[in-house]
Amino acid sequence: MSERSTQELQEIAKKIRKNILAATTEAGSGHPSSSLSGVEVATMLYFGGVLRHDPKRPEWPDRDRFILSKGHAAPLLYSVLAEAGYFSTDDLLTLRKFGSPLEGHPNMRRLPGVEASTGSLGQGLSIGIGHALAAKVDGKDYRVFVMQGDGETQEGQVWEAKMFAGNQQLDNLTLIIDRNRYQQTGKVVEIEDLDPLADKLTSFKWEVTEIDGHEMDQVSKAFDWARGVSGKPQAILASTKKGRGVSFLEKEGNYHGKPVPKEELEKAFKEIEAGLS
């Protein structure tokens, strides 16, 4: 599906990772580890030919939609949008600063390419369903992609949405659950286990696939698979690591809501460049 090779996509992913760290460290706050876990998925969407979009026309009615439901991963969304050309990559360093449209969490009224204002967890899938229903009713062929956190999946609204999407047979809707196994205060399995997650979704009339969310080829195949499903919404359960690409973030496991200290930034960049993890 992609015109870019896996290696080219991996190079873009490295750039995205570095921009996530640069922006959050400059801001002095934010959620780099939550952003890093979704890099391959977001890279594939925007640069692997999955998402039909045009940075010059962010309001194009026939565009595919990507909704970042886990809004605290805003640096991930901003980094891919900037790299794709929605705005300048220089703007990334204004993250969270007064006057910047790159607010701490995505604001659809201030930044082109942001499809939904998020930051209160659990709401993006329902909004995605609204877009998907509108496509059906208008006879349009655009698709809707939603990325949700695994902790976020504990929200009740998420399950109301899943039941509805299944019953509506919304095959133009793809949900990616970023299963990095951690939430704010600890491990998902210890706080409120989701498993058996695939079985739950299947019983809600979804098609499900489970992948390694850092393996570019698996991510690519999963999106191809999703496109081929008819009559049902699709869920991609992406096993990921919070802080992926930076050893000292990965090692801590969660590293939730903290930027990388300025002194560590170069080291982190080197690790990302070398592709260590």
Ligand X SMILES: Cc1ncc(C[n+]2csc(CCOP(=O)(O)OP(=O)(O)O)c2C)c(N)n1
| 71: Cα within 13 Å, side-chain hemisphere | 19
Q: Which of 41, 67, 74 is nearest to 213 (CA)?
A: 41
Separation of alpha carbons 138 and 185, rounded Å: 43
Asked whether position 189 contacts other proteins by CB under 8 A, the answer is: no
Query: By CB under 6 A, what part of segment 7-46 binds ligand X?
Result: 34, 37
- Residue from 14, 17, 70, 244 binding ligand X (CB under 6 A): 70
Query: By CB under 6 A, what part of segment 74-93 binds ligand X?
Result: none
Asked whether position 178 contacts other proteins by CB under 8 A, the answer is: no
Residues 174 and 245: beta-carbon distance below 8 Å: no
Q: Determine the interface stretch with Mg ion among 43-51, 114-122, 140-148, 178-186 (rule: CB under 5 A).
A: 178-186
Q: Determine the interface stretch with other proteins among 26-34, 36-44, 206-214, 219-227 (rule: CB under 8 A).
A: 26-34
CB of residue 18 vs ligand X: minimum separation in angstroms? Answer: 19
CB of residue 215 vs other proteins: minimum separation in angstroms? Answer: 27
CB of residue 277 vs other proteins: minimum separation in angstroms? Answer: 26
Separation of alpha carbons 10 and 68, rounded Å: 21
User: What are residue 174's DSSP bridge partners?
Assistant: 145, 234
Residues 179 and 150: beta-carbon distance below 8 Å: yes
Separation of alpha carbons 41 and 215, rounded Å: 9
Sheet holding 65-68, edge to edge: 65-68, 144-149, 173-179, 234-239, 207-212
Asked whether position 117 contacts other proteins by CB under 8 A, the answer is: yes
CB of residue 257 vs other proteins: minimum separation in angstroms? Answer: 9
Asked whether position 218 contacts ligand X by CB under 6 A, the answer is: no
Query: By CB under 6 A, what part of segment 88-127 binds ligand X?
Result: 119-122
Asked whether position 243 contacts ligand X by CB under 6 A, the answer is: no
Q: Are strands 186-187 and 182-183 parallel, antiparallel or unpaired?
A: antiparallel
User: By rule CB under 6 A, what count of residues binds ligand X?
Assistant: 19
Asked whether position 72 contacts ligand X by CB under 6 A, the answer is: yes
Binding site for ligand X (CB under 6 A): 34, 37, 70, 72, 119-122, 149-152, 178, 180, 182-184, 242, 256
